[in-house]
Structure formats: C-alpha cells, structure tokens
C-alpha cells in the first residue's frame, strides 16, 4: 500500500500498537466489542465507543476519502462492511426464493378440483354423471327373454364388439327366445353362450353383430364405501335409464334363487322383482330351496325391476358391478307399486371377469 509522506509541521506518525506505522490516529486502546447475531440471523458489528468517525469499528460501511492530489488510494474494506453486505445479499436471495415459492403455489390449481376423465367420453365435458351416462349408455342393452312361463325383462352389458353380453342368469333362465334392444332403439336376437347359476351370471351373444361399443371393465377390489356410482339399465322396460348414488356397503351376503321358474319379471304386473335373501330376511317373494349366495356391492343408486343384469359404474366410466337385486318395502305388492328405497346389490365385476372363460366354455350349473 502506498502512503503519503507527511509534510513539515504535520503531526508525527504514531506507532501502531502492533508495530505498523500509519498516517492516521491510533485506534482506541480498549478491545472492540464482539459482533452480535440477531434472532433473525443477521450479524451486527458494534460501533466504536464515543471516539468519533476515525475510532473503533464503524457502525456501517464508510466512504473511503480520496487523498489529496486526486490520486487513488487503496484501502482495505473493513471486514464488518463485507459481512453486512454478504448478509444483505443472502437475505435478498432467500426473500426472493420464498416469494417465488409462494407465487408458484398460488398459481397451481387445487388438486381436489381436478376433473376425472371418463373412459370413452366424446364431449368436452370430462367428468360427472352426464359424462358417464353419455360414454357408457351405448354399451348397455335391454334384454327380453320369453318362455312358456312368461316374459322376463332385464338388462345387459356389452363386453365385446362382436356382441358378447353379460347379464344375470335369472334374467334369461329357461328362455326360448331372447331379444336385445340397443341404446339406439335397434333390436337383434341373441342366444345363450353359457350360464353359471352359482354366481347368477350368464353370457349371451347377439347374432350377426359387429362394431358394437364394449364397456370398459374396471377393478372392483378398489371400490370404497362412499364412492360415487352410476347405474344404467331398463327398469320397467324403460331402456337406458340412468340413476346415481354411492357405494353404501361392501361384501354383503346376498342369496338368490337358482330355480328357472323364479326368473320371470313382467313389467307392470306379475310377481315383480327377483326374490332374494339378505340379512336373514326374504324379499320380493320366496327364493325357494335352490339358492346361491355371493358377496355383493351395496348401493343407494335407485334400482328397479328391469335393472337386473345392468351396470354399476364408477366415475371413470368403468363397470364395477352387475346389478342383480333390489330391496323394496312394498315387496309383497306388484311391481307397479313397488319401488327402490336405496338398497340395491351388484355382483362385483372381478367375479364376472374371473368367470368369463367358464361362461365362454358353456358355463356351469354348480352352486359352488
């Protein structure tokens, strides 16, 4: 460091306590106070004790005076000033980062408001009951089965574009002829491929069908109580009727008859709904001596005569159950006065998927 030579008459240079000569007054003899760190994490260096600007540590950065003659003097910046500048820079970075995080969080949409996309949805609306109904209705059919004993009306779910349809065994049991009505009003004949009375399932196939829209089969193991669901079927012969509700319980033991003579459901009269047992009671008539029991999904979506064999659907548009039974407080009355009170039962779709190979091979009449 270059120093100016003192002129004649100026005060004599003083000896620095540490042995170095300086043109400035000596620092105070007392030891400066230690730096203090505030609760916010900023280090503060105390100023000098009453000695003026040239004594002790300054309270903040000070300007370095320009020496006489306009020349530039290099002076070491006090360490306290460097530390204060560093703290300020770090604070600015931290503050800016925090602001960025807050802004980013504010701009992100709430995950709870994200709309679930419905499988097969063709409109701009990707969620809700309307979207589910629009996407799945073309895959649900009405089934009319006629035998010497009468006529049975139910519903079915298309599972292949070639015309395979899943329904309840009690809908088509004992039938001589089967007619299928599609969502567009067209009708075709169908034949039985296989039945499984032990699971109350049947597989039929439409003759000469192609290009049908199959439903998407979901996973019933992931169904939870409280999940919103949609039911589509043909109650009382009203093709394509849509109702909605929630899953109100799981693994309900439902017992239905396997007797073919119990399978007739005549809209507007007759015996009404398919008889079944639940919770130790019999509903909709006598199930008889030949029965089977399965674990059902319980729903409060309205199910009425003719919904049997139709679909219980989740909000992604996936089939999670085949509707099979409903409870009515007017079970001893005709179907014209009996109605749903919010207790319907569906065969889990995983049970259906596990039985498909068996049904395609002709099925089984065992009650196992």
Q: Any idea which residues carry the catalytic annotation?
A: 170, 200, 308
| 20 exposure class (CB count in 10 Å sphere: 0-12, 13-18, 19+) | exposed
168-185 CB burial, b ≥16 within 10 A, e <16: bbbbbbbbeebbbbbbee
Token couple for 40: 């916010």
From residue 271, alpha-carbon distances to 266, 268, 282, 290, 336 in Å are 7, 10, 14, 18, 10
Q: Which helix (H) or strand (E) holds 261?
A: none
Let me know: does 17 contact 26? Beta carbons within 8 Å. Answer: yes
**What does the radius of gyration of the chain's CA atoms come to, in whole angstroms?**
42
Q: What is the CA angle 80-81-82, rounded to 5? A: 90
Return d(Cα 322, Cα 308) in angstroms, integer. Answer: 8
Return d(Cα 368, Cα 365) in angstroms, integer. Answer: 9
Beta strands in 262-315 (DSSP E): 276-278, 281-283, 291-299, 311-314
């Amino acid at each position: 460091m270059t120093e100016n030579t003192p002129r004649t008459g100026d005060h004599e240079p003083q000896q620095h306590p540490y042995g170095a000569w300086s043109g400035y007054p000596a620092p105070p003899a007392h030891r400066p106070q230690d730096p203090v760190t505030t609760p916010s994490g900023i280090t503060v260096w105390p100023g000098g004790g009453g000695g003026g600007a040239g004594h002790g540590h300054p309270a903040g950065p000070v300007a370095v005076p320009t020496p006489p003659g306009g020349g530039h003097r290099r002076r070491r910046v006090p360490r306290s000033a460097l530390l204060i500048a560093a703290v300020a820079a770090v604070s600015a970075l931290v503050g800016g980062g925090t602001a960025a995080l807050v802004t980013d969080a504010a701009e992100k949409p709430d995950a709870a408001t994200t709309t679930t996309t419905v499988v097969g949805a063709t409109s701009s609306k990707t969620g809700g009951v309307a979207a589910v109904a629009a996407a799945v209705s073309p895959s649900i059919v009405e089934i009319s089965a006629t035998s010497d004993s009468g006529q049975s009306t139910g519903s079915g779910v298309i599972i292949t574009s070639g015309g395979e349809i899943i329904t309840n065994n009690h809908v088509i049991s004992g039938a001589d002829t089967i007619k299928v009505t599609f969502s567009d009003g067209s009708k075709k004949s169908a034949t039985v491929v296989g039945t499984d009375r032990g699971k109350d399932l049947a597989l039929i196939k439409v003759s000469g069908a192609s290009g049908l829209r199959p439903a998407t089969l979901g996973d019933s193991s992931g169904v939870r109580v409280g999940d919103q669901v949609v039911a589509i079927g043909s109650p009382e012969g009203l093709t394509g009727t849509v109702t909605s509700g929630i899953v109100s319980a799981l693994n309900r033991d439902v017992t239905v008859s396997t007797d073919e003579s119990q399978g007739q459901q005549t809209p507007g009269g007759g015996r009404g709904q398919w008889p079944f047992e639940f919770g130790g009671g019999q509903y909709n008539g006598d199930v008889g001596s030949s029965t089977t029991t399965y674990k059902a999904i319980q729903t409060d979506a309205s199910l009425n005569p003719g919904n049997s064999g139709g679909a219980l659907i989740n909000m992604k548009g996936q089939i999670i159950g085949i509707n099979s039974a409903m409870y009515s407080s007017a079970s001893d009355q005709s179907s014209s006065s009996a109605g749903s009170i919010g207790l319907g039962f569906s065969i889990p779709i995983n049970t259906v998927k596990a039985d498909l190979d068996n049904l395609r091979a002709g099925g089984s009449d065992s009650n196992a």
